[in-house]
Amino acid sequence: MNAYDIFASHYDAVVGQREDVALFLQKLLRTYAPRAKTLLELGCGSGSMLKILSRRYKAQGIDLSSKMIELAKKKAPKAKVSVGDITRFSFDEQYDAIICPFDTINHVTSFPAWKRVFANAHKHLNPGGVFIFDVNTEAKMERYATEPVFAEIMKNEISIVDVQRVRRYRYLVNLRLLRREKGALYRNHEVLIPELVVPTPTILKELSNYFTRVTLVDPDRKKPSDETEDLFFVCQGPR
Ligand SMILES: C[S@@+](CC[C@H](N)C(=O)[O-])C[C@H]1O[C@@H](n2cnc3c(N)ncnc32)[C@H](O)[C@@H]1O
């Protein structure tokens, strides 16, 4: 069982449904791949993105965690989802758009494995297709690692996200959910997720082996800067 299998039933309570992110992705897709009809999500998790994107696209998703896939089947019944590793998947089909959102690539903890994700995404794209993924930057992970931990108090739950830096570029993300069970008693559920940060120039150099145009997008700013925390890579071309 991987970390997400253990934590699956608490995951949505910690991160929410994130409709705003799905709509932002839809905007990017409309801008950069206006004619796209088919879409594959790498690391689709509990299906929050597929729920919204499957309204417009013939959508498919893969995830390493069978428990997350069970949730995705319920949340996004129109999408076809299956268990699979984004560093090794192989489908007979090709897609107009491939997305890998919400720092899923940071969960891949070696850069050679990131390279396999890029090569594989490229291999599975139709001519004119687009590959969109986002990363947690070092600026974000350092802020989380150095600032005091914060908690969100909901009706019957308290969620806590705590990030520790192991060494440069390597972090441990501790997701915790305290869930009310009886009266004032809360049970602690938690999981530790290792994340790898890769500097943007290194990512761009590798992507240039496959794509002729990569547009960087910071959803929180007009232009990406050193303070960018979530950085989207929109990869296109050459075909
Ligand atoms: C932060 S969640 C993102 C879920 C989804 N993309 C979203 O935006 O809601 C990361 C997901 O990536 C999956 N994952 C991590 N490494 C993976 C791998 N090598 N292959 C497939 N899925 C992976 C995890 O199981 C988890 O469901």
Task: Write down the H helix ranges in 56-199.
Answer: 66-75, 111-123, 138-146
Please state whether 204 falls in left (phi above 0), alpha (psi between -120 and 50) or beta: alpha
Q: What is the DSSP letter of 19?
A: H
For atom 16 of ligand 1, the residue with the nearest CA is 107
DSSP 3-state of 188: strand
Q: Name every protein residue with a CB atom under 6 angstroms from any ligand 1 atom.
A: 4, 43-45, 48-49, 63-65, 68, 85-87, 101-104, 107-108
Length of the chain: 239
How many helices and strands, by DSSP H and E, does the chain display? 7, 11
Predicted local confidence at residue 70, as pLDDT: 97
| CA neighbor of 233 nearest in space, from 58, 52, 25 | 25
For atom 12 of ligand 1, the residue with the nearest CA is 43
Classify residue 140 by burial, with Cβ atoms within 10 Å: 0-12, 13-18, 19+: buried
Classify residue 103 by burial, with Cβ atoms within 10 Å: 0-12, 13-18, 19+: buried
Angle at 7 between CA 89 and CA 133, to 5 degrees: 40
Using 70 as the pLDDT threshold, list the residues of the chain that sit under it: 239
| Atom of ligand 1 minimally distant from the CA of 8 | 27
Half-sphere exposure of 85 (CA within 13 A, CB side): 7
DSSP 3-state of 120: helix
| Atom of ligand 1 minimally distant from the CA of 65 | 25
| CA neighbor of 13 nearest in space, from 173, 117, 133, 152 | 152
| Atom of ligand 1 minimally distant from the CA of 21 | 8
The full set of domains in the chain, from first to last, is 3-138+198-236 (3.40.50.150), 139-196 (2.20.25)
Global pTM reads 0.96
Q: Is the dihedral of CA 92, 98, 100, 106 positive or negative?
A: positive
How many Cβ atoms sit within 10 Å of the Cβ of residue 92?
Answer: 5
Tell which one of 40, 54, 75, 104 to mutate to probe ligand 1, the residue whose CB is within 8 A of the most ligand atoms.
Answer: 104
Predicted local confidence at residue 174, as pLDDT: 95
Predicted local confidence at residue 15, as pLDDT: 85
Strand partners, 61: 41, 81
DSSP 3-state of 143: helix
